[in-house]
Structure 1
Amino acid sequence: MKSKQRLAVLSAAAVLVNALVLPAAVHADVNEEAAVVSSAPDAAAAESDAAAGSSGAAEGAPAEDEPQGDMVMPKEEAEEMARKLAQIPEDYALRNAGYGDELLANGKRAVWELYFVREQNNKTNASVSVRLNADNGKLLSFDAWDDDPNEKPSYPLKVEREEAKEIALAYIERMAPEYAEEIVFNEDYGAQLLPPLTGEVRHTLRFDRTVNGILFMDNGITVEVDSEGYVVSCSVDWDETIVFPKVETKLEAYDAMAKLTAIAKPELVYMLPYEAADKSKPILGFVMESAAIDAVTGEPIQEGAAGETVASEPVSPEKLGERAEGAAMTEAQAKQKVEELFGLPAAAELTDSSYNEYVDDYTGRKRTAWNLYWTVKEGGKEIREYHASVDSGSGTVYSYYSYNSNDSDEEDAKPKVSYEKAKSLAADAVKKLLPWAADSLYLVSNSRYEADEDGEFRSYPVSFKHKVNGATVSYDEVTVRIDAQTGEVTSFDAVLADVDYGSGLPEVISDNIALGKWLGYYRTVLTYDLARQYLLDGQPISDQKYKVMAAAGEWTGDRVERRTEAKLVYRLIARPLDESVFLSAETGEWINSSTGEVTQLNKPKADDIEGHWAENELSLMVAYKALDLKDGNVRPNETITRGELIKMLVLAMNEGHMPYEFSKGEAGVSASFADVAADSGFYKYVETALAENLIDIGDGSFNPEGKVNREEMAELIVRALGYNPLANYEGLFRTTFSDSASVERKGQAAIVVGLGIMSLNDGKFEPDRLVTRAEAAAAFFRYLQVRADLKEAPLRD
């Protein structure tokens, strides 16, 4: 039974449907530039604070006895308004309060952020955070949280996403009828493509703003509805200071698609999926970023790493040396190497060092490294420090960093070293530090530094792309930072995986085929985009300079003007997926970026289960790929194998995910079972089951293709529930099966039948009967239900 206190909080959220009045103008989606003095901590932080005995207002909030200056709305009035609008119960105390300005597209507004908590036994167990427009007292957002120990999740969900959408829409229509006609439901946002395997779910529903019938996806209303149908949060992103252009003519969708196709560029890359069984074998693939064009002119719009261009030639046409491999270097040799390469001053004293051995995640080989630390003193005070990491096997310096405590004196100085010179110095550093890779590293230029010659840059970061056989190595990165005053290298970081790329590029699909497949991944959307411009004394300035001035509080001055204009664009929008993917360059198949396994863009669906008694249960297991499809069929009446059953069980136990330590694997670690190698599709599931004590090592063989009978499945389920030790107490469970004498694991059978996870057939348990794929799917669906029912609340005083 739910606690009355929890119902009060959730009822408060429900009351908001009738109580809220939405403001006429609400905040824009400009989070990176928001200037609110403080924000409410999350629930976990609040609970931690409560446990530690902390109290008081948030940093920046006015103290009780401090004057509140020119605040439009005093704190007391804001608290009263928040309690009224959000129907916050009296036993919730105001914990934190923050007041400040929040930037809109073409203006700002004053905002109060208030955080109310309910405490019991000196512990925070519920909270409501509220944001108010301090100019007019309207509610901008709220979020309710309640840690009710007496609440148990239900499975399946009481309210699914489709019903939650109707609840959210009704909520918006009641609280903000003036916006109800200007929104459209975003089918993709917050959608869980895989059915949830837990009853503790918040449905996130997004309603995008439309202007003149055209989407403006940066604005909208987001509502969260829990699996019991309560509205537990709402946020309105709606900026009425934005001016939208009147567009007389625009490109037709067909022409826009042609122009997007012309600028979309699949890139050939090497990928190393981190959860792959063999992380030392890179996969050659195609990736493609989104693209956008001006809907009126058709001109491309730069997105992503704006202004970055990669050199067409490497820093050197050939290798300048070989990668050394030999006996481990001594500390003295590593020290000398760094001092020579980076020209450390004679006054630099080695004050600390450490030696480390580790196993390379990709190759499984043991690596050794020296970590060194120098300081330079002047007048008994440390004025400079240096750090470096050296691979003691090859002598390669992979990390270097220097810090000058006097650097702050030069903070506002104009650069003495140009960006072009900095790039040249960085290239020279790469040639000296990584001679064996100089012919495969390509300098990346950033127009931000080229365009703003008057920028106040203390240093220039210069990065390099690693290319092998003409393909970009996606997981490698080299960065050199050059001091803008002295031209010296102040930091250097190199990540270059030691893997085998073969002697040349294999045969790959054409760029056109790759482009076609990627265009099937995206959809073309006509929408508005915000373009921001900053002017100093009427002249445009860079984003960097603006951010420096904003951080110093100078953006409020008359000299700086901020303009935001809406622009109509066509953009490629990625389809919603529950996994990150790339395209295999050799086969043209879609590959899961984490596991390296072949996947597909569309959720798998079985063709042979319509009308089947276990259609829903089988669909769930197919969606999670716990059961494989052959020619579109799941074969529900075939006997399930041991490997399939273990995979199904592990996924059910872990809500569809692999435990972290087994999902990533460990290089160089041998498989526990002789017949389930590391490259087997069942490997990580079997290893997880072994670690979780669901199975035993036995004679060292697992027999993944072996069949499973009902008694074996019963024991696995009971182990997963954690009741196996109890089940083994002889005589504790009374069985009424007519074939009880033939059941060896009577306790396990009694538990699964008693809990309704498995059923009898004419009073018989039939322990030796083999389990079909449909029966296994049904059993694990019931396992999910029972697991939710068995969640026990802690004892309360």
Structure 2
Amino acid sequence: MKRTKKQLIVGLATAVALTALPAGAWADTVARADQPIPLITEENQPVAPPGSGGEEAPSDVAVSRDKAVELARKLLQIPTEYTLQSASYNTDRLAGGTRSAWNLDFVKKVNNKQLGSIQARIHATSGELLGYGSYINDPNYKPAYPPKVDREQSMKIAEDFIAKVGAKYAGKLRYNADYGVQFRPPLNGEVRYPLRYNRVVDDIAFMDNYIDVEVDGEGHVMGYQVTWDDTISFEQGKPSITMEQAEAKIRALAEPQLAYVVPYDAKAPIKPYLSYEMAPLMIDALSGDRYQPFASTVKPNRTEPVAPSALGAKPAANKKLTGEQAVKIVEGAFKLPEGSELTDSSYHEYSDEQNGRTSAQWQLSWSIKDKDDKDNGSVWASVDSRTGEIRSYSQYSYAEVKGGDQVKIITYEQAKAKALETIKKQLPGYAHELYLQESEQDQQLDRAVIPGDIRDYTFRFQRLIHGANAVYEGASVTVNAITGEVRNYNADLGNFTYPAQKPQTISNEQAIDAFMKYYNLELTYVQTYAMQGEPIPLEKYNLMVAAGEIVPGSGDSGKAKLVYRLVQRPLDGDVFLDAESGQWRDRQTGDPASLVKETATDIAGHWAERELSMMVAYKALDLEDGKVRPQAVVTRGEMIKMLVLAMNSGNRPSLAFANSESASFRDVGASSDYFIYVENALQANLIDRGDGSFDPAGEVDREEMAELIVRALGYNTLAKYEQLFNVPFSDVGSIENKGQAAIVAGLKIMNPDEKGQFNPDRLVTRAESATAFFRFLQAKAELQEAPLRN
């Protein structure tokens, strides 16, 4: 690089052709559908060993293992060099019965090295293909970039595949346009298009039954999964209300709640944002009433704090406790078990990059001795050295009292009083902000089971600030049911600074308006299980069966109910609603976000439209009033951001230490939009520290961009040997780094002009930089075997 410049180194198709595994990518491992492979019978192949998760198949099973293997080979056209490695037989529970299937695993090995595997799941009664997955481990396999197949083309491939292996589903499926939608174009050839086709019942999509197909960028079907239950019965009848009426009901029922959100990867110093949250709702489509089959037994307590006002001031962080003082604080707060002896006292400091604070704590431990001086348990505690607050306390005794109906215990209410007393004593400054969260099950615990079987009562307190849930802060107290003493205590408070007064927020109506754009309203069926007349989720039902709590088939699966429900619309990342501004923000960074894909309004028909659109999609280039300004000169900051995103598959990098003290350049601090990218580029050796100045707003010329790309390819050292390269430029004498220029030209990443000149000093536009990085990705894919920086 020129030393005189700033340092930038910086209905389904009925076709029967099976396109699952074209020969183009699998070479000789898998054949196309139009090149059928003779059936190979399996003899003396292993069955899954005992304990491998399978079960013994009945002797009269309709589809034997050998028949299942034959069917799998025929349906998937598995090549002969793939041998059966294992087979297992399993039974799944359905709403009104069971379904058994064979799980088959085929592998290809060369010189004892596994180069590929194919898994198939065959219905043990009908012989239907229920599932398929494939994996290839070929070091010579290089997917093309850009991908040969886009999402729309992959749909045709998926539908042809379903028509071949799942013809019975013809006319019963509907493509789910929201599932697996990708907002950003791929940055490499390793692309997977997840496609879903939902079951249709009475012209209504049942979202819990579907067929998933995964197609890669080469056009191969890499996965297939049938999630379908023919034993489900569906509620009969037509909706009594329209979609518009359902929306009106939801708006009337909606209750947005305030909560503080802390973006976990925001620019330092990180601050909490006051946000609105609104849970999705369901409306019974036949009755028009609200439908709450899985309502929680925990009724959020937002009205009754531990105390109506603070019982004291929050402690100032101005102390420097000794170990002895920390021990006395713990002994004064909790009754340590008899025979407790202090065994360890250690001091720890920790700098939290999220909130910019340094914490200091004493970690204390005691051993509990019995009358014979034998170990009988332990006690642990941590004390904040600067505030004197006990952060945690826990004690455990090996001599537990055995359960039974003769053991006397304290009541739930007595334990609750103890927990409230503990919070008031230990956290007086937070008593008005801590709210006990109880469930009906908690309150009835001492009456619902054998008393002696209750060991502890646990109470959880959530911190609310001016009525807003401080999601990451709260406390908990565990009271021993037999001794009545506190066994565990934890307080996670004061991590961030919150406003002294409640901020002005948008109205509930405005919040609901925003969330109705965040959600889509759909008419579908939902399925629940019921035990003793109470609906429970299918997942909980299966868990209860697995735990032996209920017998398989017990309970009532009920009918799949017709409902209107809110579901999150496809989004490019997680977002939250800023309650103060009404702006959607990125949950990761706190930056402004949009619910719809941003597109540039000034590049239609531009020669670099595709490349610029890609950079806008990844937010590598920012829009101003909807314009990307393709002819504007690209800046150093933008250039580095584009390259780092390209090298990280479009993912925003993270740094372990992201504060101003760790900034490597004096003009790119932690508050800069480019900080995370510049630091990542420095760590990856793409740029040098130089004189400590980066100049993120500086303009970039062609020679600087060439060097940056060559470094990213991993060829910068090689480029120094200029005699190895043909430098075919008519202005070669004006090029300082001839090796870098020759490499980018040879790889067709950067081309000379019509006069054959490289023009090293010419400034690079946004359109030119976007095009260069697109070509960089192409070259990177082609040179996959070369020593690239991946």
Identity %: 45
Q: Which residue of 1 aligns with 2:43?
A: none
Is 2:434 the partner of 1:441? yes
**In structure 1, the residue corresponding to 2:115 is in which secondary structure?**
strand
8 A Cα contact 2:544 2:550, kept in partner? yes
- Following the alignment from structure 2 to structure 1, what is the Cα–Cα distance between the partners of residues 477 and 95? 36
8 A Cα contact 2:597 2:617, kept in partner? yes
Shift of 1:658: 2.4
Shift of 1:374: 3.8
Q: Give the alignment partner of residue 524 of structure 1, picking from 521, 524, 535.
A: 521
**In structure 1, the residue corresponding to 2:655 is in which secondary structure?**
helix
- Following the alignment from structure 1 to structure 2, what is the Cα–Cα distance between the partners of residues 534 and 161? 43
The residue type paired with residue 188 of structure 2 is: T
Q: Which residue of 2 aligns with 1:777?
A: 770
Specify every segment of 5 or more residues in structure 2 that has no aligned partner in the other structure, as ranges: 1-21, 40-46
Q: Which residue of 2 aligns with 1:183?
A: 173
8 A Cα contact 2:173 2:199, kept in partner? yes
Q: Which residue of 1 aligns with 2:333?
A: 341
Shift of 1:223: 0.5
* 1:408-435 CA distance string (max 9 Å, x none): 9549999956555554443333323333
* 1:444-500 CA distance string (max 9 Å, x none): 222444578536876554332211233221222433344556655443333324322
- Following the alignment from structure 1 to structure 2, what is the Cα–Cα distance between the partners of residues 180 and 646? 50
Quick one: structure 1 residues 412 and 712, their matched pair in 2 at CA, closer, same or farther if it must change by over 3 Å? farther
Is 2:196 the partner of 1:196? no
Structure 1 runs (4+) deviating above 6 angstroms are 2-5, 12-19, 67-71, 411-415, 538-548
Instruction: Give the count of matched residue pairs.
Output: 750
- Following the alignment from structure 1 to structure 2, what is the Cα–Cα distance between the partners of residues 173 and 305? 41
- Following the alignment from structure 1 to structure 2, what is the Cα–Cα distance between the partners of residues 104 and 415? 44
Is 2:489 the partner of 1:492? yes
* 1:664-691 CA distance string (max 9 Å, x none): x534634222222211111111111222
The residue type paired with residue 301 of structure 1 is: Y
Shift of 1:757: 0.3
Shift of 1:109: 2.8
Q: Which residue of 2 aligns with 1:22?
A: none
Q: Give the alignment partner of residue 463 of structure 2, picking from 463, 466, 470.
A: 466
**TM-score, normalization by structure 2:** 0.86
8 A Cα contact 1:362 1:499, kept in partner? no
Quick one: structure 1 residues 785 and 539, their matched pair in 2 at CA, closer, same or farther if it must change by over 3 Å? closer
Alignment of 1:4-15 (within 5 A): 6-7=26-27, 9-11=29-31
Is 2:307 the partner of 1:313? no
Quick one: structure 1 residues 626 and 508, their matched pair in 2 at CA, closer, same or farther if it must change by over 3 Å? same
Quick one: structure 1 residues 113 and 431, their matched pair in 2 at CA, closer, same or farther if it must change by over 3 Å? farther
- Following the alignment from structure 2 to structure 1, what is the Cα–Cα distance between the partners of residues 405 and 607? 73
**In structure 2, the residue corresponding to 1:566 is in which secondary structure?**
strand
Quick one: structure 1 residues 732 and 162, their matched pair in 2 at CA, closer, same or farther if it must change by over 3 Å? same
8 A Cα contact 2:238 2:286, kept in partner? no
Q: Which residue of 2 aligns with 1:630?
A: 624
Alignment of 1:287-326 (within 5 A): 287-302=277-292, 306-311=296-301, 312-321=303-312, 322-326=314-318
- Following the alignment from structure 1 to structure 2, what is the Cα–Cα distance between the partners of residues 636 and 314? 57
The residue type paired with residue 254 of structure 1 is: E
Q: Which residue of 2 aligns with 1:52?
A: none
Q: Which residue of 2 aligns with 1:275?
A: 265
Quick one: structure 1 residues 242 and 550, their matched pair in 2 at CA, closer, same or farther if it must change by over 3 Å? same
The residue type paired with residue 470 of structure 2 is: V
- Following the alignment from structure 1 to structure 2, what is the Cα–Cα distance between the partners of residues 543 and 425? 38
8 A Cα contact 1:16 1:85, kept in partner? no
Quick one: structure 1 residues 75 and 176, their matched pair in 2 at CA, closer, same or farther if it must change by over 3 Å? closer
Quick one: structure 1 residues 461 and 213, their matched pair in 2 at CA, closer, same or farther if it must change by over 3 Å? farther
Specify every segment of 5 or more residues in structure 1 that has no aligned partner in the other structure, as ranges: 20-54
- Following the alignment from structure 2 to structure 1, what is the Cα–Cα distance between the partners of residues 296 and 246? 21
The residue type paired with residue 605 of structure 2 is: G
Shift of 1:329: 3.3
Shift of 1:82: 4.6
Q: Give the alignment partner of residue 548 of structure 2, picking from 550, 553, 560.
A: 553
Quick one: structure 1 residues 180 and 539, their matched pair in 2 at CA, closer, same or farther if it must change by over 3 Å? closer
**In structure 1, the residue corresponding to 2:723 is in which secondary structure?**
coil
The residue type paired with residue 617 of structure 1 is: E
* 1:554-594 CA distance string (max 9 Å, x none): 53379x43434311111111111121111122222111010
The residue type paired with residue 319 of structure 1 is: A
The residue type paired with residue 672 of structure 2 is: S
Quick one: structure 1 residues 125 and 428, their matched pair in 2 at CA, closer, same or farther if it must change by over 3 Å? farther
Quick one: structure 1 residues 496 and 694, their matched pair in 2 at CA, closer, same or farther if it must change by over 3 Å? same
**In structure 1, the residue corresponding to 2:610 is in which secondary structure?**
helix
8 A Cα contact 1:130 1:143, kept in partner? yes
- Following the alignment from structure 2 to structure 1, what is the Cα–Cα distance between the partners of residues 745 and 85? 50
Quick one: structure 1 residues 10 and 193, their matched pair in 2 at CA, closer, same or farther if it must change by over 3 Å? farther
Q: Which residue of 2 aligns with 1:233?
A: 223
8 A Cα contact 1:59 1:98, kept in partner? no
Quick one: structure 1 residues 337 and 86, their matched pair in 2 at CA, closer, same or farther if it must change by over 3 Å? farther
* 1:267-314 CA distance string (max 9 Å, x none): 222221111112442222222222212222233334887232222121
- Following the alignment from structure 2 to structure 1, what is the Cα–Cα distance between the partners of residues 380 and 223? 47
- Following the alignment from structure 2 to structure 1, what is the Cα–Cα distance between the partners of residues 692 and 234? 69
8 A Cα contact 1:13 1:230, kept in partner? no
Q: Which residue of 1 aligns with 2:353?
A: 361
Q: Which has the higher contact order (CA 8 A, sep 6+)?
A: 2
8 A Cα contact 2:102 2:121, kept in partner? yes
Q: Which residue of 2 aligns with 1:599?
A: 593
Quick one: structure 1 residues 450 and 254, their matched pair in 2 at CA, closer, same or farther if it must change by over 3 Å? farther
Shift of 1:404: 5.0
**In structure 2, the residue corresponding to 1:143 is in which secondary structure?**
strand
The residue type paired with residue 469 of structure 1 is: H
Shift of 1:782: 0.4
Q: Which residue of 2 aligns with 1:735?
A: 727
Quick one: structure 1 residues 135 and 175, their matched pair in 2 at CA, closer, same or farther if it must change by over 3 Å? closer
Alignment of 1:152-167 (within 5 A): 152-167=142-157
**In structure 2, the residue corresponding to 1:442 is in which secondary structure?**
strand
**TM-score, normalization by structure 1:** 0.86
Quick one: structure 1 residues 340 and 774, their matched pair in 2 at CA, closer, same or farther if it must change by over 3 Å? same
Shift of 1:750: 0.8
The residue type paired with residue 438 of structure 1 is: A
Q: Which residue of 2 aligns with 1:262?
A: 252
Shift of 1:731: 2.4
Q: Which residue of 1 aligns with 2:14?
A: none
Q: Which residue of 1 aligns with 2:643?
A: 649
Is 2:611 the partner of 1:611? no
Q: Give the alignment partner of residue 677 of structure 2, picking from 685, 703, 720.
A: 685
Alignment of 1:54-453 (within 5 A): 57=49, 59-61=51-53, 72=61, 82-83=72-73, 85-302=75-292, 306-311=296-301, 312-321=303-312, 322-352=314-344, 354-376=346-368, 383-403=376-396, 410=403, 422-450=415-443
- Following the alignment from structure 2 to structure 1, what is the Cα–Cα distance between the partners of residues 368 and 35? 65
RMSD value, Cα: 3.5
Q: Which residue of 1 aligns with 2:705?
A: 713
Shift of 1:709: 0.8
Quick one: structure 1 residues 545 and 104, their matched pair in 2 at CA, closer, same or farther if it must change by over 3 Å? closer
8 A Cα contact 2:377 2:397, kept in partner? yes
The 10-residue stretch of structure 1 (765-774 or 494-503) with the greater mean CA deviation from structure 2: 494-503
8 A Cα contact 2:82 2:107, kept in partner? yes
- Following the alignment from structure 1 to structure 2, what is the Cα–Cα distance between the partners of residues 13 and 487? 72
Q: Give the alignment partner of residue 760 of structure 2, picking from 750, 767, 770.
A: 767
* 1:130-172 CA distance string (max 9 Å, x none): 3333444443212111111111122111111111111111111
* 1:628-676 CA distance string (max 9 Å, x none): 11111111111111111111111111111123326xx534634222222
The residue type paired with residue 278 of structure 1 is: A
- Following the alignment from structure 1 to structure 2, what is the Cα–Cα distance between the partners of residues 516 and 734? 63
Q: Which residue of 1 aligns with 2:581?
A: 587
Shift of 1:395: 3.0
